[in-house]
Chain A
Amino acid sequence: MTPELLTDITIFVLSLLVGFEVISKVPATLHTPLMSAANSIHGIVLVGAMLIAVTADNALGYILAFVAAAFAAMNVVGGYLVTGRMLKMFRRARTPVTGGDPPAGVTGGPGAAGGHRPGGQA
């Protein structure tokens, strides 16, 4: 066992523990955004996908680099945007309605347009 591997395993185990500690405090109300946020975080694999391109020199390498980059970028961009869109809908009080009632069955909260900035990669 190399020292590098030992370090990697140590980091892995400690990160798992940190994860358990931090995440067990998240209330059930936020479990869907939490899962979506966790989803965006595993988009970090984009880093790995980009590094494939560094050494790619044949068709197979390029195809792998392309598919991996596409998958991971979709994961990152989509994950962060949709988490932001969801969280924007959580509010402490009902949006004050002055004057008359809005027509019954009005749908589509302000979240529908999702005006959140993209992650800005690539």
Chain B
Amino acid sequence: MVTARIRSAAAPEDPINQFFADLTQPGHLETFESESASLRFEVPNGGRAERWYVTIHDGDVAVARQGGPTDAIVTTDRPVLEAMVSGRLNAHAALLRGLVTCRGSMAALMAFQRCLPGPPGSTGQVAPISSQTVMAQHDVRQRRSM
């Protein structure tokens, strides 16, 4: 697909840039409808920080490398942000663990995390389990107190 080629051409080796580029490709995400938020992601990199400014306005998403004040400032390390944008690390867990800090609006971060992907390997599928297997799994002694 054309869009895929454009995206990979933008920054083939960097999953973070790739993620933000993908976000602006549709430019509109249903999950953000009637939602407004702005965030600055900040990743310390030696003396200067890498920054991404994300603006959400009623479903429309824009990402820039420069910008003004935002509702929230999210600070984290590159490996952590990479893990989050590739679905390997849950944003809420990262926040509780102290891997990510959020200054300003928690609601903005809560809104943003909705566009993060699920863990790689999650299929939504599961094989049915028979009644016999369920019965065997549970302590049979407890059943039918007879």
Q: Is chain B a partner of chain A in the same complex?
A: no
**Chain B contacts to A: CB under 8 angstroms:** none
**Chain A contacts to B: CB under 8 angstroms:** none
